[in-house]
């Protein structure tokens, strides 16, 4: 326990030291912000480690355009009012050529506006709020938006469990609502019946009343939209209450903590938009998982993979642009085709920087996520325009 | 059937609220301090239980230490944070209390990691027993039993023993109690010791119930417990117990029947507002 604290202090010291010693030499600076303190610090820590692995591996191979890259990292505490000055600092003081957000929607949304005004390419690794990209053409997103994710889930359920009666359990925040909306839009057309939708808050850990009611509904499939820390207790309580129906869950169930919390009850849970930990492609996935575990002390979290791939993609765009001119980097990013992200193969970006990527469906088996199927449907997963 | 099941689920959660809120209301009754850091003690109990249980493999040892450590922490909070401030207006210790709670949350994060911790071995949480067709897991049963035993024990202590009567006298009239030889400082220590032990056990049980102990787990409970002690009539122990159970049940029904309109966590406050409009003195009046 203590070790991680000392480790963090050392890492912070080291970060400071490298920052100071390399200030003079020519480096390509890329901004990065994530919550390193406060309630969202867990994902922030994983995100930052993911981004740092990308930086280190790029630099080991000689960097880009003959220069090393430097990540300028700030703690945004998951607060929009912190993200704005950070964005200004990255642009004005640090002179970054591009920036990556390893943070949630609220700070990312706030910072996106600043980068838009300044004309610096900005990449949201996993923030899902639609407004992040809708403000202009300088922001890009590395994950599929909530709407298409929900539609993908409907497609998956209707294919695997045709004509199923579904009980929906939705987290009542932006993330949950947007996925639920997408699901509800297409579920009836796919032949699914939604019996009832239950909602719960981010802080919810006890689902007794909802479970009692779901039991009375007796659905064929339970579709749960929420984060792993809600999902773990939820899945365990559903199974303990004797509900044996298949559980299909949304992307944010993808955390190794799910299995730690729910134990055996997590087995068989499907995650739409999850990440198959056993996949052999792209070739850097398995080495990444090993390196992440070495640095973090725990298994790879999807947000870390998102941030790793985001930094890789931004650097790839710099290479393709052949320049550190932000405008050229933006154009190169926008022109990205078939880039191998760890979470799946990025197809293209639409006009406002929304990603098209096939959705992987994973299933929990023996304490890890393994691939179940891939939804690659250009119509339902098409990123929404402005 | 669903109706009954919802009531039972609500009562189980009400028991947890009761264990948490009794300490708060006792502290308020005695010192007029809103002891927000109580929620930090709740989380501390959960952390001690999970860390000790995972390290030694003994859940019993984890719970025993959770009880001892939270009781000591509560006393330490009184001694070092509140006692020096007793001459100040009540908002001063309250601000200290809020600060202390934030420090504790961030402390848990730094020491135990930003991700929460699950119990390695938590056999109770997936073992259920059906009572009259209603499934309860063993942790829920343990929650009900511990709250009943501890709170009844406390009730007997307060009404039957000399120390208990001295405590009640101190709450009613500190000067008079002192002149009869009751040591008010000792009473305060006993209150913090007992209230914090209860909160620690509640935290440990909630940790088991969720199978997840996280730095921020005290947050939501602290707000609810505040609503409960106001509902109960600040300082009134019986009112607080009643308010805990009522809130548990109201939330349980609200989750199913009102969720389209309100968040479950808003229901408690809505209930609070309604009750205060009708009965500003709380459900059973002030203690």
- The secondary structure of chain B, three-state, reads CHHHHHHHHHHHHHHHHHHHHHHHHHHHHHHCCCCCCHHHHHHHHHHHHHHHHHHHCCHHHHHHHHHHHHHHHHHHHHHHHHHHHCCCCCHHHHHHHHHHHHHHHHHHHHHHCCCCECCCCCHHHCCEEEECCEEEEHHHHHHHHHHHHHHHHHHHHHHHCHHHHHHHHHHHCHHHHHHCCCCHHHHHHHHHHHHHHHHHHHHHHHHHHHCCECCCCHHHHHHHHHHHHHHCCCCCHHHHHHHHHHHHHHHHHHHHHCCCCCCHHHHHHHHHHHHHHHCCCCCCCCC
Domain limits at B223? 2-278
* Biggest CA-to-CA distance, chain A: 67
Asked whether the beta carbons of residue A242 and residue B265 sit closer than 8 angstroms, the reply is no
Within-domain flag for A9: yes
Within-domain flag for A381: no
Q: Is residue B213 within 8 Å of residue B193, measured between CB atoms?
A: no
Q: What is the pTM of this model?
A: 0.86
Residue of B119, B153, B126 lying closest to B19 (CA atoms): B153
Q: Is residue A232 within 8 Å of residue A205, measured between CB atoms?
A: no
* Cα–Cα dist A125/A347, whole Å: 16
- A 10 A CB-CB count for B276 gives 14
- CA A143 to chain B, closest CA, distance in angstroms equals 22
Start-to-end Cα distance in chain B: 37
Residues A258, A259, A262, A265, CA torsion sign:
positive
Backbone dihedral angles phi then psi of residue A70, each to the nearest 5 degrees: -125, 130
Place of tokens 């709740």: B42
Asked whether the beta carbons of residue A209 and residue B253 sit closer than 8 angstroms, the reply is yes
Q: Which two tokens stand for residue A193?
A: 């019946």
User: Could you tell me if A233 and A369 lie in one domain?
Assistant: yes
Within-domain flag for A307: yes
* Cα–Cα dist B231/B217, whole Å: 22
User: Could you tell me if A55 and A176 lie in one domain?
Assistant: no
pLDDT of residue B29: 86
Within-domain flag for A160: yes
A42 vs B: CB within 8 A? yes
| Residue of A41, A172, A216 lying closest to B263 (CB–CB) | A172
Number of domains chain A contains: 2
CATH number for A162: 3.40.50.2300
Q: pLDDT tens digits, residue range B252-279?
A: 998 888 877 777 777 878 888 888 888 8
Residue A150 half-sphere exposure, CB side, CA atoms within 13 Å? 25
B interface mutation test: which of A39, A211, A212, A266 has the most B CBs within 10 A? A212
Number of domains chain B contains: 1
How do A337-341 and A270-272 pair as beta strands?
unpaired
User: Could you tell me if A223 and A365 lie in one domain?
Assistant: yes
* Cα–Cα dist A5/A297, whole Å: 12
A348 vs B: CB within 8 A? no
Within-domain flag for B284: no
A interface mutation test: which of B50, B55, B113 has the most A CBs within 10 A? B113
Asked whether the beta carbons of residue A203 and residue B125 sit closer than 8 angstroms, the reply is no
pLDDT of residue A143: 94
Q: What is the pLDDT along chain A (386 residues), one digit of tens a residue?
A: 444 444 444 444 444 444 444 444 579 999 999 998 877 888 999 999 999 999 999 999 999 999 999 999 999 999 999 999 999 999 999 999 999 999 998 899 999 999 999 999 999 999 988 889 988 899 999 999 999 999 999 999 999 999 999 999 999 888 899 899 999 999 999 999 999 999 988 888 889 889 999 999 999 999 999 999 999 999 999 998 889 999 999 999 999 999 999 999 999 999 999 999 999 999 999 999 999 999 999 999 999 999 999 999 999 999 999 999 999 999 999 999 999 999 999 999 999 999 999 999 999 999 999 999 999 999 999 998 76
CA A278 from centroid of its chain's CA atoms: 18
> In the 8-state DSSP scheme, what is residue A213?
H
ipTM for this model: 0.85
User: Could you tell me if A254 and A152 lie in one domain?
Assistant: yes
User: Could you tell me if A157 and A95 lie in one domain?
Assistant: no
User: Could you tell me if A128 and A19 lie in one domain?
Assistant: yes
Q: What is the CA radius of gyration of chain B?
A: 19
Within-domain flag for B221: yes
Q: Residues in chain B, how many?
A: 287
User: Could you tell me if A139 and A244 lie in one domain?
Assistant: no
Segment 168-197 of chain A within 8 Å of chain B by CB: 172
Within-domain flag for A124: yes
Q: pLDDT tens digits, residue range B161-201?
A: 888 888 888 888 888 888 888 888 888 998 999 999 999 99
Chain A residues within 8 A of B137 when measuring between CB atoms: 240
From residue A63, how far is each of A55, A60, A67, A306, B109 by CA, in Å? 8, 7, 5, 20, 35
User: Could you tell me if A158 and A291 lie in one domain?
Assistant: no
* Cα–Cα dist B48/A86, whole Å: 37
* DSSP state string for A33-88: EE--SSTTHHHHHHHHHHHHHHHHHHHHTT-BTTBEEEEEEEE-TT-HHHHHHHHH
pLDDT of residue B286: 63
Q: Could you tell me if residue A65 is left (phi over 0), alpha (psi between -120 and 50 degrees) or otherwise beta?
A: left
User: Could you tell me if A189 and A308 lie in one domain?
Assistant: no
User: Could you tell me if A56 and A102 lie in one domain?
Assistant: yes
Within-domain flag for B287: no
CA dihedral A86, A90, A91, A97 (to 10 degrees): -140
| Average pLDDT of span B70-78 | 97
pLDDT of residue A318: 97
Ranges A112-126, B73-87, B99-113, B124-138: which has the least confidence:
B124-138
Percentage of chain B lying above the pLDDT 90 cut: 50
CATH number for B164: 1.10.3470
Asked whether the beta carbons of residue A204 and residue B264 sit closer than 8 angstroms, the reply is yes
Segment 279-318 of chain A within 8 Å of chain B by CB: 298
pLDDT of residue A19: 41
Asked whether the beta carbons of residue B212 and residue A229 sit closer than 8 angstroms, the reply is yes
Within-domain flag for B283: no
Asked whether the beta carbons of residue B259 and residue A199 sit closer than 8 angstroms, the reply is yes
Segment 129-168 of chain B within 8 Å of chain A by CB: 135, 137
Segment 22-81 of chain B within 8 Å of chain A by CB: 51
User: Could you tell me if A150 and A20 lie in one domain?
Assistant: no
Q: Which two tokens stand for residue A212?
A: 């009692």
Q: Which two tokens stand for residue B106?
A: 């961030």
| Average pLDDT of span B77-93 | 92
Chain A residues within 8 A of B5 when measuring between CB atoms: 212
* DSSP state string for A329-348: HHHHHHT-EEEEETTEEEEE
What is the residue-averaged pLDDT of chain B?
89
Backbone dihedral angles phi then psi of residue B23, each to the nearest 5 degrees: -60, -40
Q: Residues in chain A, how many?
A: 386
Asked whether the beta carbons of residue B115 and residue A42 sit closer than 8 angstroms, the reply is yes
Within-domain flag for A220: yes
* Cα–Cα dist B94/A74, whole Å: 32
Within-domain flag for A188: yes
| Residue of A199, A208, A232 lying closest to B211 (CB–CB) | A232
Continuous segment of H or E residues that includes residue A362 = strand A359-365
Domain limits at A84? 2-144+281-353
User: Could you tell me if A261 and A289 lie in one domain?
Assistant: no
Asked whether the beta carbons of residue B211 and residue A208 sit closer than 8 angstroms, the reply is no
Comparing alpha-carbon positions, the chain B residue that sits nearest to A217 is B2
* Cα–Cα dist B172/B196, whole Å: 22
């Amino acid at each position: 326990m203590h070790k991680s604290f000392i480790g963090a202090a050392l890492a912070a010291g080291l970060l400071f030291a490298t920052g100071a010693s390399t200030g003079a030499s020519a480096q390509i600076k890329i901004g990065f912000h994530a919550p390193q303190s406060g309630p969202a610090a867990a994902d922030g820590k994983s995100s930052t480690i993911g981004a740092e692995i990308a930086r280190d591996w790029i630099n080991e191979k000689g960097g880009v355009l003959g220069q090393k890259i430097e990540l300028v990292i700030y703690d945004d505490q998951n607060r929009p009012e912190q993200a704005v000055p950070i964005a200004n600092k990255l642009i004005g003081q640090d002179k970054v050529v591009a920036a990556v957000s390893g943070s949630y929607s609220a700070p990312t949304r706030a910072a996106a506006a600043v980068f838009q005004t300044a004309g610096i390419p900005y990449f949201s690794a996993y923030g899902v709020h639609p407004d992040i990209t809708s403000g202009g053409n300088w922001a890009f997103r590395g994950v599929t938006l909530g709407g298409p994710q929900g539609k993908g889930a409907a497609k998956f359920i209707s294919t695997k469990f045709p004509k199923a009666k579904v009980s929906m359990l939705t987290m009542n925040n932006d993330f949950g609502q947007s996925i639920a909306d997408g699901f509800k839009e297409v579920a009836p057309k796919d032949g699914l019946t939604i019996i009832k939708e239950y909602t719960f808050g981010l802080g919810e850990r006890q689902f007794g009343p909802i479970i009692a009611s779901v039991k009375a509904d007796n659905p064929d499939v339970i579709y749960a939209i929420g984060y792993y820390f809600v999902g773990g207790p939820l899945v365990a309580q559903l199974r303990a209450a004797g509900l044996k129906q298949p559980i299909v869950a949304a992307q944010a169930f993808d955390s190794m903590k799910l299995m730690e919390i729910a134990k055996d009850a997590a087995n068989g849970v499907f995650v739409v938009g999850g990440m198959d930990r056993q996949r052999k492609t792209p070739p850097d996935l398995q080495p990444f998982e090993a390196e992440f575990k070495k640095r973090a002390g725990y298994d790879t979290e999807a947000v870390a993979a998102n941030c790793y791939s985001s930094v890789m993609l931004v650097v790839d765009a710099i290479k393709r642009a052949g320049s550190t001119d932000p405008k050229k980097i933006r154009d190169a990013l926008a022109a990205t085709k078939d880039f191998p992200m760890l979470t799946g193969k990025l197809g293209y970006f639409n006009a406002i920087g929304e990603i098209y990527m096939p959705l992987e469906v994973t299933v929990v088996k023996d304490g890890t996520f393994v691939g179940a199927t891939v939804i690659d449907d250009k119509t339902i997963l098409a990123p929404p325009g402005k | 059937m669903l109706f009954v099941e919802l009531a039972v689920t609500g009562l189980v959660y009400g028991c947890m609220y009761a264990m948490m809120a009794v300490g708060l209301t006792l502290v308020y009754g005695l010192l007029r301090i809103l002891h927000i850091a109580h929620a930090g003690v709740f989380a501390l109990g959960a952390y001690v239980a999970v860390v000790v249980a995972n390290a030694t493999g003994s859940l019993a040892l984890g719970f025993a230490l959770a009880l001892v450590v939270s009781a000591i922490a509560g006393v330490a909070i009184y001694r070092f944070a509140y006692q020096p401030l007793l001459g100040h207006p009540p908002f001063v210790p309250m601000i200290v209390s809020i600060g202390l709670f934030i420090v504790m949350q961030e402390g848990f994060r730094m020491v135990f990691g930003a991700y929460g911790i699950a119990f390695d071995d938590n056999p109770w949480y997936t073992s259920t027993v059906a009572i009259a067709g209603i499934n309860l897991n063993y942790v829920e049963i343990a929650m009900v039993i511990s709250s009943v035993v501890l709170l009844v024990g406390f009730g007997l202590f307060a009404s039957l023993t000399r120390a208990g009567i001295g405590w009640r006298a101190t709450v009613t009239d500190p000067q008079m109690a002192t002149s009869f030889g009751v040591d008010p400082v000792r009473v305060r220590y006993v209150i913090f010791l007992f209230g914090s032990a209860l909160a620690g056990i509640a935290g440990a049980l909630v940790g088991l119930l969720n199978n997840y102990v996280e730095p921020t787990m005290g947050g939501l409970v602290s707000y609810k417990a505040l609503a409960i002690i106001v509902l109960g009539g600040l300082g009134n122990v019986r009112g607080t117990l009643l308010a805990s159970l009522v809130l548990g049940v109201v939330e349980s029904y609200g989750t199913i029947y009102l969720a389209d309109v309100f968040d479950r966590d808003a229901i408690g406050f809505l209930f609070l507002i309604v009750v205060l409009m009708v009965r500003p003195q709380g459900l059973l009046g002030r203690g």
